[in-house]
Chain A
Amino acid sequence: MNFQLTEEQRLIEQSAHDFAKEYLDPVVEQLDHTGDFPKAIIKELANHDFLGLHLPADVGGAGAGFVSYVAVIESLSRSCAAVASIMNNQAMVSYAIQHWGTEAQKKQYVQALVKGETIGAFAIYEHGPTPGIGPDALAATKRDGGYVLKGTKAYVRNAGEAGVYVAFAITDSAEPNALTAFVVDAKATGLKVGPKLNTMGLRGCPVAHVTFDNVSVPETAVLGAVKSGREIATRVLTLASVAEAAQTVGIGQAALEHAALYAKQRVQFGKPVATLQAVQTLLAEAATDCYLARLGLRSAAQLIEDAKPFETEAAIVKSFLARLGSKILVDTCQVEGGMGYSEAMPLPRLFRDIAGTTLLDAPADFPDYAIAASIA
């Protein structure tokens, strides 16, 4: 058993680190401030082969495994978690189409996603308690050899910028649990993206509600089998949750390093505050959480890479970070005191970002159910 990255994985991680220094560090504050979609950076991610990292070489991918993928997401998140979010949502779409798509769907979308020519958005959530239930649940009705989509998907990331949506709909209102995935071109008539929502953090990764106002799609728009959407969604969301854990660790690591640096420079009581035990404890606990989370998520990533069952491990990682992710920022901000609350410093941004990677779409109890089910 080897807990270290292989030489190849390490080089990929290093390249992401270098990319982050060159392209993300200089713009991260402005991106956070304006919330504008960083189109040029996404193109650069493609130019550096990051958007196809997880895909096989025959579709233009780099053929790297999931361990490398999460190492890259962590490295990018250390500098700018919003860009990592965009990339992660892009990967959810390219993965789904590559994995379940027809040859024609792959041909039309996967290369374009890998090259950054098209942005992808994964539209699963709805305003109702769970997708498929609720007055504006997305419903697909068969008509003229195709389907008509009607309803609203909520909190869709990359919405508005996306050229292609993977949207999940019910085909039979009597079976709200049976979702079907559709690949929908953003230009489809009736597809309307609502105003960009003002997010607390991860600013630059757009979030909006997307309304399908009688959008006609051909039968060939179905992704995978009819009524197999929930399996697709579960698998993609579980993979994404491991990648999201990598974002959390990246953000936490950045906060930890900044707080440690600050503590060494900040003099109070006649000495650097880094020499105070209370500060050392805060930093040590944050370092411990980051380290254990990284081990956990890399272990889950290795299972994914080896095509072994990974659902329980992914849930464990998610549950661990739902509890501890925000704590890392709550504590590191304490190290910097009043400065840790000033938007002139990086920690407030990291505080806002980490809330986005740990507290959302994890109705924090769902991973616990999955874990409990695996034990009993």
Chain B
Amino acid sequence: MSILTAEQQEIKKAAKEFVAKHIIPNAAEYDKTAEFHPFLLEAAKESKIFTMAIPKKYGGLGYEAVTQAVVVEEWGYGCAGMGTTLAAGVLGMDSLLIAGNEEQKQRYFDPILKGGIAAFALTEPGAGSDAAGVRTTAVRSGDEYIINGTKCFITNGGYASVYVILAKTDPSKGVKGISAFMVERGRPGFTIGETEHKLGIRSSNTVELLLKNVQVPAGNLIGKEGDGMKIAMMTLDMGRPMIAALAVGVAQRALDECVKYLHQRFPGKLQPGQTLQFKLADMQIQLEAARQTLHYTMNLRDSGLPYSKESAITKTLCGDVAMSVTTQAVSLMGSYAYTSEIAKLMRDAKIMQVYEGTNQIQRLVVSRAVLSPAPAVAAGQKAA
């Protein structure tokens, strides 16, 4: 069901207000300077919105997935850069929700409940699309693991209080030799490297993490040794629709700005020809299809049904729609868009096709699901 309940509508309204007050007025300036925005974390802390993915029994808001997507769409509407900070701050906790034990949950949700943010660190210079190519190692030594390696493109990396780090515990086992660890900020040997300067989502923080003989207690291992890749993939399943929600927000903003501009440019007498009518209709059609797909996928998750394929479909569709709708919007607004913050929407939309797995990787995920299992060979037919 994708019609929002009264409660969800209230939450959406509150999210809109938060965005109007804290995000929209600051988005252009922070995009320009590409500076991080600690004020936003402070503001988000007040409303406890960071805790929306944390179950109520641990003190979080415990929103359903659909509700989370509604909130994240509003963040994306305001600014995909700041939205990325907030969304990743929430998503960083997903691995813990998936595989953390009670004690770990209590321990690591605590800093988030106090207003901190989390970061999820899978990507490495040699492990992008090929996520299994992780080279960071975690070697068991008594009651500890010693972690060594470099992570890159880590969202919130410079500001997180706690990190999920994927590392090889058994290099001989390939994908099955990867494990997931919680690593607290400030551990000796754990430093923040270069900050990435990006085409869009410029105010979100993207950095390199350098781990040199970082010691963590064995109790920081999430799940069992060798579960890391499975946890990472499930984390991405949860994260991708949230990226899609940001994308829907960006696309909605582009359409709204476009309509606002057209009314301003043709005050009181906007009589669009069919070419323009159809372009606007196509933007709306794509946008609405994307949003409904997103809500459906979130419904699957809330219902406890498998949604891995739908997650990939959603992220691909919404990312591509955001790119297409923002491009069309810039085209319809022409030089005005090119010389104003409208162009930011197009730059921001581009990342939606890239992060949390490129849309090419999503298509691999979808095609695997489509091809598996092989259809039964009908009687009388021979298998090819």
Contact = CB atoms under 8 A, between A and B. Distances in A.
A273 B335 CA distance: 37
A337 B129 contact: yes
B125 to A, nearest CB: 10
A207 B133 CA distance: 46
B129 A199 contact: no
A368 interface: yes
B152 to A, nearest CB: 8
A324 to B, nearest CB: 11
Contact of A355 (B123, B197, B338, B351): B338
Interface in A67-92: none
Contacts of A270: 130
Chain A contact residues, majority secondary structure: mixed
A363 B332 contact: yes
Interface in B293-349: 323, 327, 330-332, 334-339, 343, 346-347
A362 interface: yes
Interface stretch (A39-47, A99-107, A179-187, A326-334): A326-334
B330 A359 contact: yes
Nearest to B32: A198
A81 to B, nearest CB: 13
Given A334-B359, A360-B338, A365-B275, A326 B327 contact: yes
Nearest to A345: B199
Contacts of B123: 338
Contact of B360 (A155, A207, A278, A338): A278
A348 interface: yes
Interface residues of B, number: 44
Contact of B335 (A129, A358, A361): A361
Interface in A345-376: 348, 351-352, 355-356, 358-365, 368-369
Contacts of B8: none
A351 B360 CA distance: 19
B198 A364 contact: no
Nearest to B357: A337
A351 B335 contact: no
A49 B360 CA distance: 46
A360 B354 contact: no
A65 B355 CA distance: 46
Contacts of A155: 335-336, 339
Nearest to A368: B275
Contacts of A355: 327, 330, 338, 343, 346
19 contacts: A129-B266, A155-B339, A199-B339, A207-B339, A268-B133, A330-B323, A334-B359, A337-B358, A338-B152, A341-B200, A341-B350, A343-B198, A343-B199, A352-B199, A352-B347, A355-B338, A359-B337, A360-B338, A369-B275
